Structure 1
Amino acid sequence: MITDVIKTVYLFIYKFFFSIFKVLPIKRKVVMYVTFRQNAYYIIRELLSREIELPIVLICNKASYRRLKKFENNNVKLILNDNKLLFFKKIFHLSTAKIIIVDNYFPFLAATNFKKEVECIQIWHAAGAIKSFGLPANNTHTRTKISIKRFHSVYNRFDKIVIGSDEMGTIFKKAFGLKKDIFLKTGIPRTDLFYLDEKKEQLKSAFLKKYPMAAKKKIILYAPTFRDTESYDYKLDIPYLKKKLGDQYYLIAKLHPVTKQTIIAPDEVSDFFKLIDSPYDVNELLQVTDILITDYSSIPFEFCILEKPMVFFPYDLVEYSAERGLWMDYESFVPGPVAKDTESLVDRIQNIDKLFDRQAVKEFNEIWNKYSKGQSSKDFVDYIMKRLDENQVIKHER
């Protein structure tokens, strides 16, 4: 209850200053709020390739700020979202831009009332979803009425939502309580990497130079989903994995970018296992990966573009499903074998040539990446450039 009061007061203050800045004229400007840098990276890359005079403001968290800083020039400005001293500057840009792009749930949107010519576009940070989010999520049901009302207010600010598939559109309708189709079928910009052969080769060469222990071995990537708890046991017996797989495989792990957990492994597995931090994001690591191990993450929806094997490791399926909720029946949905302990995980990997169903993965890709075909950044930028030059009235309330 106290948290709700604090958030309500904050949003009241935000709305007050937003209303003041809103008196200023709308500029031909793009403002992008960035939590995960991959979509922003490919959108900005495409915009800059066109050599156009367009003010772009990126409001980023710390991790994204570091990776996107190289784009800063006369047209592109970066603002660190965590910097409280820039509170008014952020509101100014938000209230005077014609195009607003967001990649996540941002509570401050509940306090905005955009002008009729402004369009707010949700690009999200995943191509698909296994775990539920938004209104149907199990942990949403325990929230207060004030919180639920705030969720609806935020979701109602989205004028367009970028999708890579019709299936993801169906999920967004449920998650955000949408009453009509507001989808932009350009595909997901971050998936363009999977079609850039030269870039993929550069990433692989750089990775093997940095981690020569992985040379001449197959690379397994373990990429679990985000866990809400501060401490968590990933149930991965790394010494056992080395004993059984060390001759042929090199194991790397990439945790969710906002997680507080880590994986602690003994020194004797240092020639077999590496927990990867910056500068790599997960999509870059997927380009060097031979086998993916994951659980409820959205990563398989993009990795399937490469048509490579996946093993699913939902060791806490019953508990996680009850706590968070899943969009579908897990074991019948995932395009790969399932293991629930380290021993069975080893078995699946040792027999991956028999268990890998390439056709199933290919069909999974065709469904979930229907619109993501290697030119999503171009198509998305084409759309926003067209909108910047229009005077179309946007009906914000749905």
Structure 2
Amino acid sequence: MKTLLVRAATAFLALLYYICRLAPTRQRVVCISRQSNEDPVDFTLIARELAHRSPPLATVILANKIEGALSYVPVIARQVFYIATSRAVILDSYCIAVSLLGDRITVPVFQIWHALGNMKKFGYTALGTPEGHSESIAKAMHMHEGYDCVVVSSNNFRKDFAAGFNVPEDIVEESPLPRTDLLISPNYRERQRHLFFAAYPRAAGKKVVVYCPTFRKSAPTNEAEAMRALVDSFDPEHYLLVYMPHPVSRQTIDDPRVLTVPKGDIDPLFSADYIISDYSTVIYEAGLLGTSVFLYAYDWDSYREKRSFNIDLEHDVPTLFTSDAKEIALAISENRFDRKEFEAFVCRNISLPVGKSCTQQLCDLIVARIESA
């Protein structure tokens, strides 16, 4: 039944695409995301850069989370129209319309993904695992088909991304995400800090500890206990614990000592004195910021059975990796963090361009592919 529905949907999208192709092609690119309902910062930076090119390229950003099957139908229809009438398509996540249309799309499709760097197996390398998709669903939905270029922050990840997206390695290009420019900008960091402390005056005079875990399909059995232990480990008189949830996570930490700040116009990472994560690529962002980072692996025994990794997380990341929240709090109080070693780790995995910004480098790649199409 599902296969028949997918075939019917594919036929409908193909017909809609061919009808939309009758409209004139615009001098623009379309950026599509299902990570949130807000414009992703990477897309915003791309739009600004392309607008200043000669000739300029306009950018349409379509950011819509999947809230329900029926409500997403008009969203997909709108995506198809812009795919059919733009010069290029840029994605930061899986896109149903692109995957089902596949090779029918006549303009270059870029997958820049939403993570800076890589640790976990994903996509096709995670099929059949509790944290991944089933092989039948991936096949039926033509998961990650239709890409002409996949972007990675370092060639270290070339094989991992090629395998995850099931694409040939020769379409994988090294170009860090545009938001890297913001992470290494002292001026931008200062503006973000000003916004944060103005919005949350309770942070004044305290050390800011930002907790930003990875997304989990299902809550670990010890999640509530682990969160209590984490909160109890920090003296609220001296520390403010900020919870930055993953964009698609439903986890909450209901404790008055914790300030929840979703990533948005104010990014709490820029105001962090310390960052606590687990198996998230946010550690690369923390490294670019020069912030001390610690890994709270309270569900490591169960999580590593659900999700395979591309690196030896316990030994390859040069920082404290523990299931003991008090050990992290003690390491923070004693300032136990090898900044130099962690910076070297990040430099191996984020290849910054020379003589241009990351946004410029990616837009150079986009424009070159458009011109050669």
Cα distance, 1:277–1:129 mapped onto 2, change above 3 Å? same
| Matched residue, 2:82 | 93
Measured in 1, the distance between the counterparts of 2:108 and 2:236 equals: 52
- Write the mapping of 1:168-187 to structure 2, written as runs, cut at 5 A: 168-187=157-176
Amino acid at match of 2:245: L
Cα 1:181–1:87 change in 2 (3 A) is closer
Instruction: Decide whether aligned partners of structure 1 residues 14 and 115 sit closer, same or farther in structure 2, where only a CA change above 3 A counts.
Output: closer
Q: Match of 2:15, as an amino acid?
A: F
Quickly say closer, same or farther: Cα 1:62–1:143, change in 2 above 3 A. closer
Residues 26 and 98 in structure 1, CA contact (< 8 A), matched pair in contact too: yes
| Distance in 1 separating the partners of 2:81 and 2:230 | 55
Amino acid of the structure 1 residue aligned with 2:359: S
- Please tell me whether residue 251 in structure 1 is matched to residue 241 in structure 2: yes
Verify: 1:366 aligned to 2:347, yes or no: yes
Match of 1:306 in 2: 289
The structural deviation recorded for 1:163 is 1.6
Aligned residue for 1:11? 10
Could you tell me how far 1:314 is from its partner in structure 2? 1.0
Q: Secondary structure of the equivalent of 1:293? A: strand
CA deviations over 1:204-259 (Å, ceiling 9, x no partner) = 11211222222222211000111112787254455874565334321101111111
Amino acid of the residue matched to residue 340 of structure 2? Q
Partner of 1:341: 324
Partners of 1:26 and 1:97 within 8 A in 2: yes
**Aligned 8 A contact 2:322 2:328 in 1:** yes
**1:258-280 deviations in Å (ceiling 9; x for gaps):** 11221111x4x3xxx21113644
Q: Which residue identity lines up with residue 311 of structure 1 in the other structure?
A: F
1:31 is aligned to 30
Shift of 1:16: 2.9
| From 344, 358, 361, the counterpart of 1:376 | 358
Structure 2 counterparts to residues 15-164 of structure 1, below 5 A: 15-24=14-23, 26-36=25-35, 37-50=40-53, 53-61=56-64, 84-85=73-74, 87-114=76-103, 118-137=107-126, 139=128, 145-150=135-140, 153-164=142-153
Instruction: Name the structure, 1 or 2, with higher relative contact order (CA <8 Å, separation 6+).
Output: 1
Is 1:276 the equivalent of 2:261? yes
Deviation at 1:362, TM superposition (A): 1.2
Mean Cα deviation higher: 123-132 or 83-92: 83-92
Deviates more, 1:306-315 or 1:8-17: 8-17
Question: Does 186-195 or 241-250 show the bigger shift?
Answer: 241-250
C-alpha deviation, 1:57, in angstroms: 1.9
Partner of 2:99, secondary structure, is: helix
Aligned residue type for 1:96: T
Give the 3 Å change call, closer, same or farther, for CA 361–122 of structure 1 in structure 2: same
Aligned equivalent of 1:315, options 285, 288, 298:
298
Q: Secondary structure at the match of 2:327?
A: helix
Q: For this pair of structures, how many residues does the alignment match?
A: 363
Q: 1:384 to 1:349 in 2, by over 3 A?
A: same
- Aligned residue type for 2:150: I
Change (3 A) 1:234 1:372: farther
Q: Is the 8 A contact 1:127 1:368 kept in 2?
A: no
Q: How does 1:160-309 map to 2 (within 5 A)?
A: 160-229=149-218, 233-238=223-228, 241=231, 244-265=234-255, 267=256, 269=257, 273-277=258-262, 279-280=264-265, 284-309=267-292
Structure 2 residue runs without a partner (length 5+):
none
Q: Secondary structure at the match of 1:251?
A: strand
Identity fraction in percent: 25
Partner amino acid for 2:367? M
Over 3 Å counting, the alpha-carbon distance change for 1:49 and 1:207 in structure 2 is farther
Two-structure CA RMSD over aligned residues (Å): 2.9
Cα 1:234/1:376, change in 2 over 3 Å:
farther
Shift of 1:47: 2.6
Q: Deviations over 1:320-365 (max 9, x none)?
A: 11112222222012231012033333233233x2x31112111111
Whole-angstrom distance in 1 between the partners of 2:218 and 2:325: 22
Change (3 A) 1:143 1:240: closer
Separation of aligned partners in 1, 2:116 and 2:234: 34
Structure 2: distance between partners of 1:275 and 1:219: 12
Cα 1:218–1:4 shift into 2, 3 Å: farther
- For structure 1, the 5+ residue unaligned runs are 64-80, 394-398
- Distance in 2 (CA, whole Å) between partners of 1:195 and 1:240 is 29
